[in-house]
Amino acid sequence: MNKKTLFEKIIDREIPAKIIYEDDLCIAIEDINPQAPIHILLIPKKPIEKFSDFKQDDKDLLAHLCFKVNEVASICNISDSFRININNGEEAGQEVFHLHIHILGGRKFSWPPG
């Protein structure tokens, strides 16, 4: 049996987290080490390792997550301006290998990213 990912443990309530939103397909939690006044992780319950592992069969889930980004931003009162970020792979800064979308807001962001 495969070991659970950190985020599966959070989904299964084995590790505590501040839950902002949840439905059958995804959960949104506060990041434990926020990089902005608002920093949420939107996580599909299906433990896809990384963004580039998305399959054709996952396209409805991907669309669902896109809509939920906006809903979570609205819940957090950052609809007007926010940044979304997905780290895909170690070189890109991914540390938890269970796909998640960072939703950041509440401050000004610069470009290019570091």
Q: Among all residues, which ones are annotated catalytic?
A: 100
Q: Return the residues of window 31-90 that contact ligand AMP according to CB under 6 A.
A: 31-33, 41, 87
Q: What is the spatial distance between Cα 112 and Cα 105, in angstroms, rounded to a whole number?
A: 17
Tell me the DSSP string of 54-95: --GGGHHHHHHHHHHHHHHHHHTT-TTS-EEE---SGGGT--
Among 6, 68, 81, which Cα is nearest to 36's? 81
Q: Least distance to ligand AMP from the beta carbon of 52, Å?
A: 13
Q: Least distance to ligand AMP from the beta carbon of 71, Å?
A: 19
By C-beta, is 15 or 25 nearer to ligand AMP?
A: 15
Under the binding rule (CB under 6 A), the answer on residue 29 touching ligand AMP is yes
Q: Which residues would be at the binding site for ligand AMP (CB under 6 A)?
A: 6, 15, 17, 29, 31-33, 41, 87, 93-96
